[in-house]
Amino acid sequence: MNLLTGLLEFLKRSGVRGLMGPLLIILVLAMMVLPLPPFLLDILFTFNIAVAIMVLLVSMNTMKPLDFSAFPTVLLITTLLRLSLNVASTRVVLLEGHTGPDAAGKVIEAFGHFLVGGNYAVGIVVFMILVVINFVVITKGAGRIAEVGARFTLDAMPGKQMAIDADLNAGLIGEDEARRRRAMIAQEADFYGSMDGASKFVRGDAVAGIVILLINIVGGFIVGVLQHNLDVATAAKNYTLLTIGDGLVAQIPALVISTAAGIVVSRVTTEENIGQQLVGQIFTQPLVLMLTSGIVGGLGLVPGMPHVAFLMFALLLGGGGYWLQMQKQESEAAAPEAGTAAPASLEPPEATWDDVSQVDVLGLEVGYRLISLVDKTQDGDLLRRIKGIRKKFAQEIGFLPPSIHIRDNLDLKPNAYRITLKGAEIGAGEAFVGMYLAINPGNVSGQLQGTQTRDPAFGLPAVWIDASLREHAQAQGYTVVDVSTVVATHLSHLINTHASELLGLQELQQLLEHVGKHAPKLTEDLVPKLLPLATVQKVLQSLLDEGMHIRDMRTILETLTKQSGQTQDPHALTAQVRVALGPAIVQQLYPASQELQVIGMDKELEYLLVQALQAGGASQAIEPGLADTLLRETRVATEKQEKLGLPAVLLVPAQIRELLARFLKRSLPQLKVISHDEVPGFKTIRVTSMVGGRA
């Protein structure tokens, strides 16, 4: 009772559809070992024929191969079903063949008598012809198409993946659509790979059919003569007709299934099934039909030809072509003012807003020899690296940069590339596919043979070398990188350098919306009630312009909210934000140091700069003589600081920090200028170099 209850519960959970597959496989395998009565054989042979017809019709009505993705499995199951029926019928033929031609059921008898007229010699010939057609023509052709299709599909996978990645990077599709497309590409590759192997089932089935035919004829003749005492002629006739009927009733469904396989793998994917494609592409051209009608009619007039058949088809084709031509003329005449519309189409169309193209915020243009870097079919991984660059930038800087649009540019040198920001070039270089860039960090032990150049990102001396010299260069102390790394590093460096220019109003609005999901009051109260969006943008751009990240948006927005009632000036607001971010600024410059070893400034020089700043008013300019002295002294102090292996940081009063930062940035971009107000109280300061005096 418990066993029955458990079985019912299992059937309820699995459902009928879930059990159909396992039950079918078990029944097919059972037919090989269990004796079947002739009546049951008739039912199973009829079922086999019906399944073959169903598979053929389904294959003709699919729009693309993946619509019938179960076909390789169906091919295996139907082949196994035919072989099981052959085994079951062979058992009956050998055991009961002496009783007459209906010993193995009415279906086999009908195929043995009706299709070949009871002549076993004709039956053998027909059977062999069907096997040759199935084995040599259809199955071999379908197998070859499946093999080539599998190879081409696998070769095209990287290109399709690259196209999906490009659409995803460009924002044309979302993650879900990209994931669905990738899954479809994988399924397509699996399908053609499975079809390549499944076609061998039908080929093996044809070989098995020939072997079974010979075994049945020879074995039946021996059994009939030796065991049932039949005369030679009767035994040969009975067993041969039964064997031929058995072979034909199996080979005809096999031929149908093979045809279905050929249709599935040979069709071109469109929005039409195979019937619509054939009718639409063959029987819809009036000129073709009328020319064919004339040729067939001419052949029908040749003496000795069957005039009725040829002339009948000539009339049918000619009438069909004439009817199609009339339909085409009526449809053209029904078009409103077709004659007057043609000249108008020669006029150039009016310009519209669709003709206005926007400049890409970030762009990467490559020469034709570098296209392989962005083509996954050629093992190019630059697209993956660019996605990593954008992700790293967002994590380290604090906002998502615009997408980088990649295109080839035939105006560039074959090995050249350039990086653009809002249409203007901000960086360029040359890269040589198949070679490596050996960068000299300053402590190499030898020279390398190659093309002398400089690292495009940081300007260090470098050499383009052959791949065979890679290990030798590393042994001599060179930093060796491949082509993709060269371009990606240059691109990453320029993106970080121009971070302030990448923070447009659109990016800022997206950033505020992202922050608003976690702290809605911060953004609601600040923009636009207290400060306009453009002012917030200027503050953030000022921070980015001096190499600061803006990940701590909570502190930035809270400071702007507090200070907005006192001033709307972006420079004053930036100074207050920097004070609030003081611990983060110092942490960024001195990651793991309690003592800040900085460049100091002579008190007299500080006093002169404060006086110059107050005298200059809004202009905030430094007198030329003082500017030259300041620049020379600062350069000397910076070089001394770098020789000591310390960060180049200048510590000055808050009043002159912004002035000095703007003045020194162009000549000494590596120098960072901070104010006393930005240094946390728990940090100690030690002046190691001095501008305008001695430490």
User: From residue 434, how far is each of 423, 447, 468, 478 by CA, in Å?
Assistant: 30, 21, 10, 18
pLDDT for 543 equals: 95
Position 11 pLDDT exceeds 60: no
pLDDT for 344 equals: 46
Least confidently predicted of 109-113, 183-187, 219-223, 253-257: 109-113
Least confidently predicted of 556-565, 614-623, 643-652: 614-623
User: How many percent of the chain have pLDDT more than 70?
Assistant: 78
The side-by-side arrangement of strands in the sheet containing 435-439 is: 451-454, 461-466, 435-439, 479-481
Position 600 pLDDT exceeds 80: yes
pLDDT for 172 equals: 62
Of the spans 232-241, 242-251, 383-392, 614-623, which averages the highest pLDDT? 383-392
In this prediction, residue 36 has a pLDDT band, given cuts at 50, 70 and 90, of confident
Q: Do domains 362-498 and 503-580 have the same CATH topology?
A: no
- What is the second-level CATH architecture of the domain 586-695? 3-Layer(aba) Sandwich (3.40)
pTM: 0.52
In this prediction, residue 529 has a pLDDT band, given cuts at 50, 70 and 90, of confident
Position 581 pLDDT exceeds 90: yes
**pLDDT top residue among 151 and 344:** 151
**pLDDT top residue among 571 and 6:** 571
DSSP assignments along 432-470, one per residue: -TTEEEEE--S--SS---SEEEE-TTT--EEEEEEGGGH
Position 153 pLDDT exceeds 70: no
Position 107 pLDDT exceeds 80: no
pLDDT for 251 equals: 74
- Which position has the token pair 């309820």? 12
Q: Which CATH number fits domain 362-498: 3.40.50.720, 1.10.275.10, 3.40.50.300, 3.40.30.60?
A: 3.40.30.60
pLDDT for 300 equals: 75
In this prediction, residue 657 has a pLDDT band, given cuts at 50, 70 and 90, of very high
Contact 239, 112 (CB under 8 A): no
**pLDDT top residue among 40 and 3:** 40
pLDDT for 275 equals: 62
Query: Which whole number is the average pLDDT over 27-41?
Result: 73
Query: Which fold would CATH assign to domain 503-580?
Result: Helicase, Ruva Protein; domain 3 (1.10.8)
Q: What is the mean pLDDT of the chain?
A: 80
- Which position has the token pair 């071109």? 268
Domain ranges of the chain: 40-135+199-278, 287-324, 362-498, 503-580, 586-695
pLDDT in tens, 359-409: 889 999 999 899 888 876 666 788 888 988 999 999 999 999 999 999 888
pLDDT for 491 equals: 95
Position 257 pLDDT exceeds 50: yes
Give start and end residues of each alpha helix (H) in 283-409.
Answer: 286-300, 307-334, 338-344, 382-397
Position 599 pLDDT exceeds 70: yes
- Least Cα distance to 143 among 208, 193, 96, 212 occurs for 193
Position 695 pLDDT exceeds 50: no
**Burial class for 211, CB neighbours closer than 10 Å (0-12, 13-18, 19+):** exposed
Contact 390, 404 (CB under 8 A): yes
**pLDDT top residue among 340 and 362:** 362
Q: Give CA–CA dist 531/84, Å, rounded.
A: 83
302 DSSP assignment: S
pLDDT for 338 equals: 44
DSSP assignments along 161-188, one per residue: HHHHHHHHHTTSS-HHHHHHHHHHHHHH
**pLDDT top residue among 214 and 360:** 360
Least confidently predicted of 319-333, 352-366, 454-468, 514-528: 319-333
User: From residue 282, how far is each of 274, 313, 321 by CA, in Å?
Assistant: 12, 16, 12
pLDDT for 223 equals: 74
pLDDT for 366 equals: 93
Position 341 pLDDT exceeds 60: no
Q: Give CA–CA dist 197/265, Å, rounded.
A: 13
pLDDT for 181 equals: 80
Position 55 pLDDT exceeds 50: yes
pLDDT for 393 equals: 93
28 DSSP assignment: H
Contact 181, 164 (CB under 8 A): yes
pLDDT for 322 equals: 79
**pLDDT top residue among 37 and 594:** 594
Query: Which whole number is the average pLDDT over 605-620?
Result: 75
Q: Give CA–CA dist 198/74, Å, rounded.
A: 9
pLDDT for 339 equals: 44
Q: Give CA–CA dist 363/408, Å, rounded.
A: 11
User: How many percent of the chain have pLDDT more than 90?
Assistant: 31
